[in-house]
Amino acid sequence: MNWKTERDLLIAQTLAFVQSVTGKKPDAELSVAESNVPESNVIEPNVEAEPDIQAAPIDAIEQSIEIVEPPNTIQMPRMSIPSDVRTEMQARVANFRAHQERFHREREEYFSATLAKARAATENDSAPNPSQPVNR
């Protein structure tokens, strides 16, 4: 047997199985006829074993659905943290804030010093230098 015919046979059998499980009418006969696979190798779905399923009316379905409105506010349970862990966390937060304030203060001082140096340099350049002669 050729690998292509084996593949086609497997596809046809798989389609027949899927259709028998889902309850659809077998459409696999078309694919078997097109692929030239002998029908003796094809497994036919058991159509007689399918249960009769009737759809329920939409009104009955809508009546059985219960709509639940979410509450406006969500209440989260408060975590119980041991006091030693809580105090350690508070100390770490306080240290972090102090560290950030120190960085901010040092940054401001550096900015002020750099700005003062820049202003002093520009004032010196704009004023005439007494050591250099003025060309007239």
Task: Domain count for the chain, please give it.
Answer: 2
pLDDT of 102-116, one tens digit each?
999 999 999 999 999
Residue 136 forms part of a structural domain: no
The terminus-to-terminus CA distance of the chain in angstroms comes to 110
pLDDT single digits (tens) 50-102: 555 555 566 666 666 666 666 666 676 776 767 888 899 999 999 999 999 99
42 located within any domain: yes
Domain membership of residue 105 as a residue range: 82-125
Report yes or no on 28 lying in a domain: yes
Structural domain includes residue 57: no
- Residue 12 domain flag: yes
Nearest to 18 by CA among 38, 39, 40, 43: 43
- With respect to residue 109, please indicate whether it lies within any of the assigned structural domains: yes
Q: Does residue 66 form part of some domain?
A: no
| Rama region for 36: left / alpha / beta (φ>0; ψ in -120 to 50; rest) | left
Q: Are 41 and 9 a contacting pair, CB within 8 Å?
A: yes
